[in-house]
Amino acid sequence: MNTVFPAEWTAQDAVLLTWPHQDTDWADILTSVEVTYIAIAREILSEQSLIIVAHNDALKAHIIELFKNNHVATERLHFVTCPTNDTWARDHGPISTYQGEKLHVLDFTFNGWGNKYQSDLDNAINQHLFNSLLSAEASSNKIDLTLEGGGIETDGKGTLLTTSECLLNQNRGNNLSKQALEARLKEVLGINHFLWLDHGYLAGDDTDSHIDTLVRFAPNDALVYVACNDHEDEHFSALAEMAEQLKTFRTQDNKPYTLYALPWPSAKYNDEGDRLPATYANYLIINNKVLVPTYQDKNDQTALDVIANAYPEHQVIGIDCVPLIHQFGSLHCITMQLPKGFLGS
């Protein structure tokens, strides 16, 4: 049966969020980061269902109270209660495919981006999710391969975009050659065209160059990418090389991609002097909207305008994500879309 890995702008049932709590690295800034989570949740619930993974019943009750106090509608809110290490739903969450018209959801291994962080609880979340909320008409499968959602992009037409630095990294433990990994991804995701990005990185990122911090697919054979025009910035050379490589990429019809260049926000640092991974490419596409991270930066509006041009059928909403980058991720990193068929009718 034909397997399709759908683009992010494919119709969705829900988005998955894993809520931060006192036993995570968010503890010191929990109040401020919850403001960002509430803003994201509000936008998602205006269009579709939201599934929140809560560490325990006390956190679930706290979240319900937060939503009530902030006048967030909860009619389409669902919970999964299970223990969690952290909150990066993009990477521990399920990756969805279609087999014919039926949704087939995949549970890959999540190893904390190469065993950098404890991840045993987060690696178990998908099975809790499937057991409690997955439609009886959908199917699921556990895949013996380490893979994070933030490491891959698709156009929904059989093309996969990724970075060599991430997918071929030995710390994932897959022990596969490039050719063998392509064969495996062709088997489980239905991919028949691979675009390997060899340049580009983001200071403060500990995912080994996830593609969703650098380049994203947009409809009509387009790519949205981060660009840096500051010759003094540490990213300048790598992103210039990345931009040149993107010009060489071709669709399956051997046509060049339409390229949309995002601005580069000014450097952001934490109190310890570490540069934080602020990138406008880390946006989430939901039904009818694109939720874009903003950073209280002079380039925020330019980024929103570029993304509006790339997704003309979506409303573009900026969400202040300064709290998120203090844990070295952003908006797309904490979310995972669940396509139509996940929750059923």
Is residue 19 within 8 A of residue 54, CB to CB? The reply is yes
**In whole angstroms, what is the distance from residue 161 CA to residue 52 CA?**
28
Listed in sequence order, the residues at least 6 apart from 310 whose beta carbon sits closer than 8 Å to its beta carbon are: 218, 222, 224, 260
**Token digits for 49?**
């269902």
Please spell the DSSP secondary structure of 57-88, one letter per residue: HHHHHHHHHHHHHTT---TTEEEEE---S---
C-alpha to C-alpha distance for 181 and 40, rounded to whole angstroms? 34
Helix (H) / strand (E) containing 230: none
pLDDT in tens, 31-90: 999 999 999 999 999 999 999 999 999 999 999 999 999 999 999 999 999 999 999 999
Nearest by Cα to 91 from 29, 27, 167: 167
Q: Which two tokens stand for residue 229?
A: 């025009």
| Measured CA angle at 245 (ends 240, 248), to 5 deg | 140
Is residue 13 predicted with pLDDT exceeding 80?
Answer: yes
What are the residue ranges spanned by the domains of the chain?
Answer: 3-339
For residue 332, pLDDT over 80 is answered with yes
* Amino acid (1-letter code) at residue 75: E
| Residue partners of 226: CB distance under 8 A and separation at least 6 | 200, 213, 214, 215, 239, 261, 262, 264, 279, 280, 281
Q: Give the pTM.
A: 0.98
Unique residue bearing structure tokens 């874009």: 292
Torsions phi, psi for 20 (to 5 deg): -70, 155
Average pLDDT of the residues of the chain: 97
CA atoms within 13 A on the CB side of 52: 27
Q: Show the DSSP H helices in the chain as ranges.
A: 30-45, 57-69, 89-92, 112-115, 125-133, 164-167, 178-189, 236-248, 300-310, 322-325
- Assign 201 a pLDDT band (cuts: 50, 70, 90): confident
Residue range 262-280, pLDDT digits in tens: 999 999 999 999 999 999 9
User: Strand, helix or coil at 132?
Assistant: helix
Q: Give the span between the Cα atoms of 264 and 34, in whole angstroms.
A: 26
φ/ψ of residue 80, rounded to 5: -120, 125
Q: What share of the chain has pLDDT > 70, as a percent?
A: 99
**Contact, 290 vs 311, CB < 8 A?**
yes
Neighbouring-strand partners of residue 85: none
What are the structure tokens assigned to 206, written together?
């500990």
Q: What pLDDT was estimated at residue 208?
A: 92
Q: CA–CA separation, 47 vs 230, rounded Å?
A: 38
Would you tell me how many other CB atoms lie within 10 Å of the CB of residue 239? 23
Q: What is the mean pLDDT of residues 186-191?
A: 97
> Is 211's pLDDT higher than 90?
yes
Helix (H, G, I), strand (E, B) or coil at 268: coil
Q: What is the mean pLDDT of residues 300-311?
A: 98
Helix (H, G, I), strand (E, B) or coil at 285: strand
Report, as an integer, the average pLDDT of 21-26. Answer: 95
Q: Is 213 helix (H, G, I), strand (E, B) or coil?
A: helix
**Residue 1 predicted with pLDDT over 70:** no
CATH number listed for the domain at residues 3-339: 3.75.10.10
Residue 103 has pLDDT above 90, yes or no: yes
CA pair distance 53, 123, nearest whole angstrom: 13
pLDDT value, residue 235? 94
Q: Look up tokens 């390229």; give the residue.
A: 259
